[in-house]
Amino acid sequence: METRALGKTGIKVSEISLGGVAFTWLGRKRAEKLIDFCIEKGINYIDVYSGTGEKIRDALKRHRNNLFISTRGNSKTLENCLKEFGLDYFDIFLLSMIDSKDQLKQAIDEASNLEKFRRQGKFKILGIATHNPAIYEPIIESKIFEVMMVPVNCIDEVDNKVYQEARKKGIGIIAMKPLAGGNLQKYDSAIKYVLNLPISTAIIGMARIKEVQQNIRVLKNLEITPEDDNFYREIRKKLGKVFCRYCGHCIFPQPCPEDIPVRTIMMLETLAYQANLRRNVSEKTLKSIERCRKCGLCEERCPYQLPIRKLLPEKVKWYLKMTC
Ligand code: SF4
Ligand code: SF4
């Protein structure tokens, strides 16, 4: 597999990489097999989530010398994360859920707290994960972070200038959600779109070996065809106004006053497909929408102006019909 420079970090990452979300529901054996297969096929970067260490720490250990590993957290959680995954260091440590200018200020302070851990060799590269395009430029200007993890997919047209600027400043871009959380079934067009941008790697939350195989096949020819362009136009028309980017602004930092897990409900389609249409979202969560008093606060916070009040019952209805 081709590799690309991750900004000026000195490391080269595979064009596609493995997002660790599937390890939250895969069993240990399947998780290990998935990692083994990815490494065999040349994927050399994996992003892992706290809570999954038990299942994958042995596989990470086996492949440590051929694998760049990232996770997210802060100066208080870093050492526990290392313990959980049985690692001496992370290649990339990300401050995540940084979606407002205030949070960016706090992240910059936190970056200096983290420096002592970098000096101790507990991580090598400092990154930041955000869903808010409005803070891309301030992040680049801050010159604190060597890597930015941002959502990139063909539903939202991308302002290429920001990526060019990041590249000029030596910041590596990790493109998350290239398949829009499973909403882009035409994965070949979706992957091509992302990899034709000046990004370093598209990180995909793959759960099955079959998915890895099909995504790798796309890499043979990344040329965008008129058919792909047509798909991009159609999908923007279809999903542009109703597609949840899972940024979490509707619940962080202020939750819904009725404690409705808005983002989870908005994600139901993705969760259903991830679980092969098996129902694994609790009844309590599904019923929570009955408490919605239509105050509209969630919509005020949504950067994509989604009609959340209208969408919540539609999502639950779809979920109940499609899953068993
Ligand atoms: S509209 Fe409903 S879901 Fe949104 S914040 Fe208000 S109560 Fe919560
Ligand atoms: S509903 Fe809007 S604010 Fe909430 S997670 Fe989705 S895109 Fe973000």
pLDDT at 122: 98
Residue nearest to atom 1 of ligand 2 (CA): 244
Measuring from each residue's beta carbon to the nearest atom of ligand 1, which residues come in under 6 Å? 256-258, 260, 262, 292-298, 308-309
pLDDT at 158 over 80: no
Q: Band the pLDDT of 197: cuts 50, 70, 90.
A: very high
CA 247 to ligand 2: nearest atom: 8
pLDDT at 245 over 90: no
Q: What is the mean pLDDT of residues 32-52?
A: 96
pLDDT at 133 over 90: no
* CA 21–ligand 1 middle distance (angstroms): 27
Residue nearest to atom 2 of ligand 2 (CA): 302
Q: Band the pLDDT of 216: cuts 50, 70, 90.
A: very high
Helices marked H in the chain — which ranges? 28-40, 53-63, 78-85, 101-119, 136-142, 160-168, 187-195, 209-218, 226-239, 262-266, 268-274, 283-287, 297-301, 308-322
More confident residue, 254 or 82: 82
* CA 258–ligand 1 middle distance (angstroms): 7
Q: What is the mean pLDDT of residues 51-57?
A: 95
Phi first, then psi, for residue 270 (nearest 5°) are -60, -45
Q: Band the pLDDT of 37: cuts 50, 70, 90.
A: very high
**pTM for this predicted structure:** 0.87
Residue nearest to atom 6 of ligand 1 (CA): 295
List the domains of the chain with CATH numbers. 3-237 (3.20.20.100), 262-322 (no CATH)
Contact 78, 111 (CB under 8 A): no
Q: Band the pLDDT of 139: cuts 50, 70, 90.
A: very high
More confident residue, 247 or 105: 105
Binding site membership of 304 for ligand 2 (Cβ less than 6 Å): yes
Q: What is the mean pLDDT of residues 297-324?
A: 93
pLDDT at 124 over 90: yes
